[in-house]
Amino acid sequence: MSDTLADRLAAYASVASDLNVDAVALVPGPNFTRTVQHNFMSHERPFVLVIPAQGAAAALVPNLELGSWDLIGFDGAVFDWRDQDGYAAAFDAMMRHLSIKSLGVEGQIMRVFVHHALKAAQPDLTIIDAEREISALRMIKTDADIAAMQAAIDISERALARTFDSVKLGQTEKDIEQVLIQSVFAEGADDLAFAPIVAAGDNSARPHAKARADYKVQSGDALLIDFGVRKDGFCSDITRTVFLVHASDEARAVYDTVLRANLAGLDATRAGVTAHKIDDAATSVLEASPFRDRIRTKTGHGLGREVHEAPYIMRGNHMTLPAGTVYTNEPGLYEIGKFGVRIEDDVLVTEDGYRTLTTFTKELTVLSC
Amino acid sequence: MSDTLADRLAAYASVASDLNVDAVALVPGPNFTRTVQHNFMSHERPFVLVIPAQGAAAALVPNLELGSWDLIGFDGAVFDWRDQDGYAAAFDAMMRHLSIKSLGVEGQIMRVFVHHALKAAQPDLTIIDAEREISALRMIKTDADIAAMQAAIDISERALARTFDSVKLGQTEKDIEQVLIQSVFAEGADDLAFAPIVAAGDNSARPHAKARADYKVQSGDALLIDFGVRKDGFCSDITRTVFLVHASDEARAVYDTVLRANLAGLDATRAGVTAHKIDDAATSVLEASPFRDRIRTKTGHGLGREVHEAPYIMRGNHMTLPAGTVYTNEPGLYEIGKFGVRIEDDVLVTEDGYRTLTTFTKELTVLSC
């Protein structure tokens, strides 16, 4: 299948047509990077690629990026601007050139200052949130995408094994986090995909906990590690929860429940099922347990160039998952003030079922420390 | 000076009053983190803290974050929402509770989907971009802020020394980048502040170049490394450009020009000068040289919890810099297709001048490789 810049731009033009808007806009982020095959930064500088339903694309480019922009082979109009001059005139010129009345944008990525700059240049422009439709183009992963994700996952699993092997009672969560981070880069990661979660004891009950410098891990603690890395533009995202020295009967029962929910979610996975159905399969296991009041999250989210992307695996999301989707299956149970357990796999949807890209053991593990 | 959550909220209430808006809103990012002293993620989940000019603050919090939110000691109203239910009802309830007509937001941080959710809950709400006024509260760094930045800078300089020491002809830019990244974490960084720039030869002429896996560094190349790390929530940002084995006369002349611009910017620095004046001092040196057509960027930007923040050091920005501001002084000259030179220091503005927090040598350096 042909996959040139022109092909990718044409696909966004079709999105605009389908949405009945005159154009869609991309800003630096996962869709932009996928489209131009170059990772641009934006920070305080607006940088916008506009793809009309009909006609050639146009781009508003910070002047200092022109040397990099020249690499991507874009043949549309370019409106560049220098820091010293500001960007208002470039927006004015681009919007006059485009002559559009409506624009679909990436609501989860575009920031308000760009929205305002577009409206300042053209007050009658209708801006709609087309995040779902724009980002849908990267939901089905190519073989190259999956290879990059597998590389990221393999790095993560080697780093996780090194980290668990090194845990000693009396270390702080921060100490363990440092081992994890150094292991991740020693194993070849390009970057962290997000700030790692290394949480023991009561902190493991916070789904997005921060590692504490003042809490030393103790015998009997749950130790939850949730992290991901980037490799060649793609993310991994894995969680494992282990117990230190011993696991109480309650901990074992909670762990078993979460594991059964994870497996039920996997069992429900195949091309053509809805996100709703996978969440329902996993969450129903949690709800049927004595721990149902500890449910705090949906089952998972899509994974790719972003660590959280479509499809969101939750009840009420009746989007069907095509083969090639990768999602996280991460049910958990969290008792605030006590402990939490989460088990997270990265799952590739296939025609006849699924393949878990993560292979790290999910058997209940008690570290001897 | 008292610095409690209540104090910090009161300061934002004053910003709202000064702007003549009914409230300001913060979303996860540097202002939010500074305010609640906890690093929350947002991803696909709206998370908003609203501080009215008069009366108590309110927060819209993803349900799964409640366990972490409980840590921050917030006593305003909390409107939480679960993934399965969506966030529209929580926005409706919060906006009814607040009863405001106008809202200042962080235009560089808030994303369009949150803007749209606010407008959906209250169509007559006027939303203005108050990025400058909101973020101004973190422009003057405290002693603790500066200590964290110095720690980040010290880590960076040790990592940079290790990286330059290891450069060998025939390595790719990617090879050198890997050494840099591993060194950064071995030296104790919490995270990278941004994707590092490791660029040799013609790639050094791209201010935001990506390291290439297929370019091997050669004798005579400029090697530009621009990177930063995070430590305890604060960033470093440093650039040095060296030459491999030998430096041409032109390279030496360009380097000398950039260094004189950097020093002129420093010389112009003291509390009370405008950002304009510092950029003008540095840029005038570049403009007076034979290389004036190679100017592509402003002189620098503020540095703190974000790697690019106010004040932006450019002509036309007549904001005066108070003592305690930290900015990057990073003039450069870039000839597309040939080579670029940039020299970047992190500079603390003081009452009677400045202190460079970066101490890495700026003498022209030729690595023997």
pLDDT in tens, B41-96: 888 999 999 999 999 999 999 998 998 899 999 999 999 999 878 999 999 999 99
On the 0-12 / 13-18 / 19+ scale of CB atoms within 10 A, A212 is: middle
Contact between A83 and B44 using a beta-carbon 8 Å cutoff: no
* HSE-up of residue B320 (Cα within 13 Å, Cβ side): 8
Give yes or no for A43 touching B (CB within 8 A). yes
CA A319 – CA A316 distance, rounded (Å): 9
User: Which candidate, B30, B84, B96, places its Cα nearest to that of B60?
Assistant: B96
Which chain A residues are within 8 Å of B111, Cβ to Cβ? 107-112
B1 pLDDT band (50/70/90 cuts)? low
Contact between B208 and A40 using a beta-carbon 8 Å cutoff: yes
Q: Which run of H or of E encompasses A245?
A: none
- Extract the tokens encoding B291: 């290389």
Contact between A43 and B116 using a beta-carbon 8 Å cutoff: no
Q: What is the pLDDT of residue B272?
A: 97
Q: What is the pLDDT of residue B67?
A: 86
Cα separation values, A49 from A52, A103, A104, B85, B304, Å: 10, 12, 12, 34, 29
Any idea how long chain A is?
369
Nearest-by-CA chain B residue for A306: B43
Instruction: Find residues 117-146 of chain A whose CB sits inside 8 Å of chain B.
Output: 127, 129, 131
> Is the pLDDT reported for residue A57 higher than 60?
yes
3 state SS of B219:
coil
B3 pLDDT band (50/70/90 cuts)? confident
Q: What's the gap in Å between the CA of B129 and the closest CA on chain A? A: 7
Cα separation values, B43 from A91, A312, B46, B70, B235, Å: 28, 12, 8, 20, 21
Given A191, A279, A296, which is nearest B64 (Cβ)? A296
Range A21-59 burial, b when 16+ CB lie within 10 A, else e: bbbbbbbbbbbbbbbbeebbbbebbbbbbbbbbeeebbb
Q: What is the pLDDT of residue B355?
A: 98
- Please give the ipTM for the structure prediction: 0.88
Given A84, A185, A297, which is nearest B182 (Cβ)? A185
Contact between A67 and B107 using a beta-carbon 8 Å cutoff: no
Which chain A residues are within 8 Å of B133, Cβ to Cβ? none
Which domains are delineated in chain A? 5-138 (3.40.350.10), 143-367 (3.90.230.10)
Q: Tell me if B234 sits within 8 A of B148, measured CB to CB.
A: yes
Backbone angles phi, psi at A74, to 5 degrees: -85, 130
- Max CA-CA distance within chain A? 68
Output helix, strand, coil percentages for chain A, rounded to the nearest 5. Answer: 40, 25, 40
Question: Which residues, including other chains, have CB under 8 Å from residue B30's CB and lie 6 or more apart?
Answer: B109, B135, B138, B304, B305, B306, B309
Which chain B residues are within 8 Å of A206, Cβ to Cβ? 65, 67-68
Cα separation values, A176 from A212, A215, A248, B197, Å: 10, 11, 22, 29
Instruction: Output B42 or B346, whichever has higher pLDDT.
Output: B346
What is the value of pTM for the model shown? Answer: 0.89
> Is the pLDDT reported for residue A1 higher than 70?
no
Q: What is the pLDDT of residue A295?
A: 94
Give yes or no for B64 touching A (CB within 8 A). yes
Contacts 24+ apart (CB under 8 A), B116-119: B116/A107, B116/A129, B117/B46, B117/B87, B117/B88, B117/B91, B118/B25, B118/B48, B118/B91
Q: What is the pLDDT of residue A50?
A: 98
Contact between B83 and A108 using a beta-carbon 8 Å cutoff: no
> Is the pLDDT reported for residue A60 higher than 60?
yes
Count of CB pairs separated by less than 8 Å, A with B: 155
- For A289-341, what is each residue's pLDDT tens digit? 999 999 988 999 999 999 999 999 999 999 999 999 999 999 999 998 999 99
Contact between B312 and A181 using a beta-carbon 8 Å cutoff: no
CA B347 – CA B355 distance, rounded (Å): 6
Give yes or no for A296 touching B (CB within 8 A). yes
Among A185, A226, A307, A328, the strongest candidate for a mutation testing the B interface, having the largest count of B CBs within 10 A, is: A185
CA A169 – CA A164 distance, rounded (Å): 12
Cα separation values, B53 from A95, B282, B291, Å: 36, 40, 51
Residue B284 sits at the vertex; the CA angle it makes with B132 and B274, to the nearest 5 degrees, is 30
